[in-house]
A and B are shown apart, each in its own frame.
Chain A
Amino acid sequence: MTHLNDAPSPRLEARNLTRKVDGKPIVDRVSIKVFPAEVLAVVGPSGAGKSSLLRLINRLDEPTDGVVFLDGRDYRELPPRELRRKVGMIMQMPYLFPGAVAENIRFGPRQRGEDLSDDEIERLLARVNLPGFSHRDVSRLSGGEAQRVAIARALANNPEALLLDEPTSALDEEAKAAVEALLAEIIREEGLTCVWVTHDLAQAARMGDRVALMEAGRLLRVGAPEEVLNA
Chain B
Amino acid sequence: MLNQFFTDPISLSVAQALVAVFMAIGMMLIASWAGIHLEKEILIALVRGLVQVVAVGAILLYVFQGPTLIGFAILAGMMLLAAKTAEKRARGLPDAFRVGLYGIGVGAGSIIALMTWAGVIDTKLTVLIPIGSMIIANSMNATSLALDRFQGEVRTHVGHIETALALGAPPKTAIRPYAQAAVRASLIPRIDSLRSLGIVWIPGVMAGMLLGGSHPVHAALYQFVVMAMILAVSGLTSLITTLIIARRIFTPAEQLAIGPGE
Contact = CB atoms under 8 A, between A and B. Distances in A.
Chain A bound to chain B: yes
B165 A84 contact: yes
Contacts of B66: none
Contact of A157 (B165, B168, B253): B168
Interface string A80-91: 111011001101
Contact of A60 (B166, B168, B169): B166
Interface residues on B, range: 10 to 19
Contact of A108 (B159, B160, B167, B254): B167
B167 A61 contact: no
B170 interface: yes
B13 interface: no
A85 to B, nearest CB: 4
Contacts, number: 57
A95 B165 contact: no
A94 B71 CA distance: 55
Contacts of B170: 81, 111
A108 B168 contact: yes
A153 interface: yes
A60 B174 CA distance: 13
Contact of B255 (A62, A89, A157): A62
B166 A89 contact: yes
Contacts of B166: 58, 60, 84, 88-89, 91
Nearest to A92: B159
Contact of A95 (B159, B168, B251): B159
Interface string B248-259: 000101111000
A183 interface: no
Contact of B159 (A82, A93, A112, A154): A93
B173 interface: yes
B163 A111 contact: no
B255 A81 contact: no
A59 interface: yes
Contacts of B251: 62
B159 A81 contact: no
Of B159, B163, B166, most buried by chain A (CB within 10 Å of CB) is B166
Contacts of A59: 253, 255
A60 B167 contact: no
Contacts of B173: 111
Interface in B16-63: none
B153 interface: no
A153 B168 CA distance: 12
Contact of B169 (A62, A91, A95, A107): A107
A81 B160 contact: no
A97 B253 CA distance: 23
B170 to A, nearest CB: 6
A60 B159 contact: no
Interface in B152-208: 159-160, 162-170, 173
A95 B254 contact: no
B167 A154 contact: yes
Contacts of A91: 159, 163, 166
A88 B164 CA distance: 11
A61 B251 CA distance: 10
B160 A60 contact: no
Contacts of A84: 165-168
Interface string B191-234: 00000000000000000000000000000000000000000000
A128 to B, nearest CB: 16
A209 B163 CA distance: 27
Contacts of A80: 165, 253-255
Interface in A38-76: 58-62
Interface string B138-160: 00000000000000000000011
24 contacts: A59-B255, A60-B162, A61-B255, A62-B251, A62-B255, A80-B165, A80-B254, A81-B168, A81-B169, A81-B170, A82-B168, A84-B165, A89-B166, A91-B159, A97-B160, A107-B164, A107-B167, A107-B169, A108-B167, A111-B167, A111-B168, A111-B173, A153-B167, A154-B167
Interface of B: 159-160, 162-170, 173, 251, 253-256
Q: Closest 10 A-B residue pairs measured CB to CB?
A: A85-B168, A95-B163, A108-B167, A89-B166, A80-B254, A95-B159, A81-B168, A84-B168, A111-B168, A111-B169
Given A60-B255, A85-B167, A108-B167, 10 more contacts: A62-B253, A80-B254, A81-B169, A82-B168, A84-B166, A84-B168, A85-B168, A95-B159, A97-B164, A157-B167
